[in-house]
């Protein structure tokens, strides 16, 4: 017989199966020797009180043996000779669109401007070590997209929980730990995700799909308001009337191409700010209310939101036990992001701390029309590059010094390996952003006692939180509102915000696209 229970226990009990079994038996009046197995369905930590608890949802097998049901991938058919769909971008939206196309009987042709996951590593080292930015291969561009080497968080606020679980199960099928099905805030880790991405690509190719690296799309062929093909950087063309556009939030050349071709795009709000690094030990002490975290608790994350003079200011992509990385996509700019390895075992914690921007904030760049947010974003990144000495060194300031408007006379070494340049954030950012950050950090310090400290270092800027552009699409067909056969998809089109939501959107666009193909072949 199977029973489902929810229970709250200490971290020590949660970590020891025998202790947990005894607790479940005692609490629910079940003879201990009748419990054959306990399966953890969901796990979360409640650190709101000094006595930290672990919330567990369990399936308890009473006088019944547990038979493990492994995650099995769908039966992907051979699509070598099936109708084709061109997918631009091999991030989560593009890869999961490709898998869904195969599952539904169409052949995906994935075009990726960057390199495969292994070859990308050399270009990431070049940014860190030599301050050289490859425009086609960096933390944002290349196989797996921005998430591959910037943490692999799988948490989403999407309400489509069925879709979320499907994506998580697919990731497990391709090699992720099954703990991502259990944890409240699942995380794969930058060291683990590349292998999973490789397995997805290999499955696409094995079943007759194509994946082309170092293949940048530079033009769209359009006839009678319908996509007819794509032109590549080498001058060749691919004829197609089905294109899923999944290029990511940093594909500024695609935004510009659409604008120049008078294909409708829209400026949209996004968020921008800084990345702050604290000692992980300090965050643990604040969040867990203890001197030493102990062996049964993971490195603590934090999440904080404040309203500051009518603007939201919040933590974004918080990386416990992680590092800060250089994520520029063009020479002459500086961008930060963060990531954690799967064990989250680095001595520092970092988080983007960003404020909400509105389209009216970009009025200085209004001459660029719907690209005004792109140019606003770019102007800050380029100025930060100048302030940092025209290298990948970032402008940096101790946190209290920033709040009090004082340049830091010395900076500790942080996890950001290209290095730091002491600078006044009031010079890097427009006045309204700087003042909002100063006021917001004061509010943060009141909510998290000990957070506002000069042991923390601010790195600037954190500017690629989401796309500054939306590519409009019909809510029903998911095609562009002007161009038939063009399916704007994922983060770059403004319809997702992270690995899971991008993967979900990729599947949705693939389904909509394939449905039109199949309707014509019936």
Same domain for 512 and 444, yes or no, is no
Same domain for 11 and 103, yes or no, is no
Position 74 in a domain: no
Position 73 in a domain: no
CATH assignment at residue 22: 3.30.70.2700
User: Can you read off the two tokens belonging to residue 444?
Assistant: 């943060």
Kindly give the residue spans of alpha helices, DSSP state H, lying in 182-322: 193-206, 252-260, 280-288
Same domain for 212 and 99, yes or no, is yes
Among 462, 484, 507, where does a domain finish?
462
Position 467 in a domain: no
| Model pTM score | 0.95
Same domain for 275 and 300, yes or no, is yes
Q: Which domain holds residue 15?
A: 2-62
Q: Is 503 helix (H, G, I), strand (E, B) or coil?
A: helix
The contacts of residue 251 (CB under 8 Å, 6+ apart) are 89, 141, 492
Contact criterion met (CB below 8 Å) for 4 and 59: yes
Same domain for 26 and 158, yes or no, is no
The contacts of residue 269 (CB under 8 Å, 6+ apart) are 356, 357, 358, 359, 373
Position 205 in a domain: yes
Per-residue pLDDT of the chain (522 residues), as tens digits, is: 899 999 999 999 999 999 999 999 999 999 999 999 999 999 999 998 888 999 999 999 999 999 988 899 999 999 999 999 999 999 999 999 999 999 999 999 999 999 999 999 999 999 999 999 999 999 999 999 988 876 667 776 655 545 899 999 999 999 999 999 999 888 887 788 999 999 999 999 999 999 999 999 999 999 999 999 999 999 999 999 999 999 999 999 999 999 999 999 999 999 999 999 999 999 999 999 988 898 999 999 999 999 999 999 999 999 999 999 999 999 999 999 999 888 899 999 999 999 999 999 999 999 999 999 999 999 999 999 999 999 999 999 999 999 999 999 999 999 999 999 999 999 999 999 999 999 999 999 999 999 999 999 999 999 999 999 999 999 999 999 999 999 999 999 999 988 999 999 999 999 999 999 987 654
Same domain for 229 and 302, yes or no, is no
Same domain for 450 and 485, yes or no, is no
C-alpha 115/C-alpha 415 separation (Å) is 26
Q: How far is CA 374 from CA 6, 105, 386, 497, in A?
A: 47, 38, 18, 17
Position 308 in a domain: yes
Same domain for 456 and 359, yes or no, is yes
Contact criterion met (CB below 8 Å) for 147 and 500: no
Same domain for 88 and 50, yes or no, is no
């Amino acid at each position: 017989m199977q029973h489902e229970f929810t229970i709250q226990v200490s971290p020590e009990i949660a970590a020891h199966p025998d202790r947990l079994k005894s607790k479940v038996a005692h609490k629910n009046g079940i003879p201990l020797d009748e419990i054959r197995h306990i399966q953890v369905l969901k796990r979360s930590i409640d650190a709101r009180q000094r006595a930290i608890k672990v919330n567990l949802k369990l399936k308890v097998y009473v006088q019944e043996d547990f038979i493990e049901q492994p995650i099995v991938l769908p039966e992907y058919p051979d699509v070598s000779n099936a109708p084709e769909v061109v997918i631009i971008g091999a991030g989560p939206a593009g890869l999961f669109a490709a898998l869904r196309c195969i599952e539904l009987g169409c052949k995906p042709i994935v075009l990726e401007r960057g390199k495969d996951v292994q070859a990308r590593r050399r270009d990431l080292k070049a940014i860190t070590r030599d301050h050289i930015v490859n425009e086609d291969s960096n933390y944002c561009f290349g196989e797996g997209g921005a998430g591959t080497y910037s943490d692999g968080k799988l948490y989403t606020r999407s309400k489509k929980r069925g879709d979320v679980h499907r994506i998580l199960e697919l990731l497990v099928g391709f090699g992720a730990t099954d703990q991502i099905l259990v944890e409240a805030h699942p995380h794969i880790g930058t060291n683990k995700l590349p292998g999973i991405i490789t397995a997805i690509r290999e499955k696409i190719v094995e079943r007759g799909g194509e994946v082309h690296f170092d293949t940048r799309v530079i033009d769209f062929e359009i006839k009678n308001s319908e996509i007819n093909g794509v032109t590549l950087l080498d001058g060749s063309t691919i004829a197609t009337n089905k294109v899923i556009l999944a290029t990511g939030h940093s594909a500024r050349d695609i935004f510009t191409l659409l604008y120049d071709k008078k294909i409708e795009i829209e400026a949209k709000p996004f968020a921008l700010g800084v990345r702050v690094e604290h000692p992980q030990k300090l965050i643990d002490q604040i969040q867990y209310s203890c001197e030493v975290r102990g062996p049964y608790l993971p490195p603590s994350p934090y999440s904080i939101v404040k309203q500051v003079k009518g603007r939201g200011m919040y933590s974004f992509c918080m990386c416990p036990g992680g590092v800060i990385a250089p994520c520029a996509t063009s020479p002459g700019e500086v961008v930060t992001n963060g990531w954690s390895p799967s064990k989250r075992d680095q001595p520092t914690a970092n988080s983007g701390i960003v404020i909400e921007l509105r389209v009216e904030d970009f009025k200085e760049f209004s001459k660029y029309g719907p690209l005004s947010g792109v140019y606003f974003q770019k102007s800050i990144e380029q100025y930060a590059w100048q302030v940092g000495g025209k290298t990948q060194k970032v402008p940096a300031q101790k946190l209290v010094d920033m709040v009090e408007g004082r340049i830091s006379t010395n900076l500790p070494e942080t996890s950001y390996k290209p290095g730091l340049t002491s600078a006044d954030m009031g010079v890097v950012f427009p006045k309204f952003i700087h003042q909002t950050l100063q006021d917001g950090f004061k509010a943060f310090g009141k909510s998290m006692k000990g957070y506002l400290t000069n042991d923390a270092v601010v790195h600037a800027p954190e500017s690629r939180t989401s796309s500054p552009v939306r590519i409009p699409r019909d809510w029903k067909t998911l095609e562009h509102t002007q161009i038939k056969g063009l399916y704007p998809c994922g983060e770059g089109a403004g319809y997702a915000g992270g690995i899971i939501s991008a993967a979900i959107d990729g599947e949705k666009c693939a389904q909509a696209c394939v449905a039109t193909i199949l309707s014509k072949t019936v």
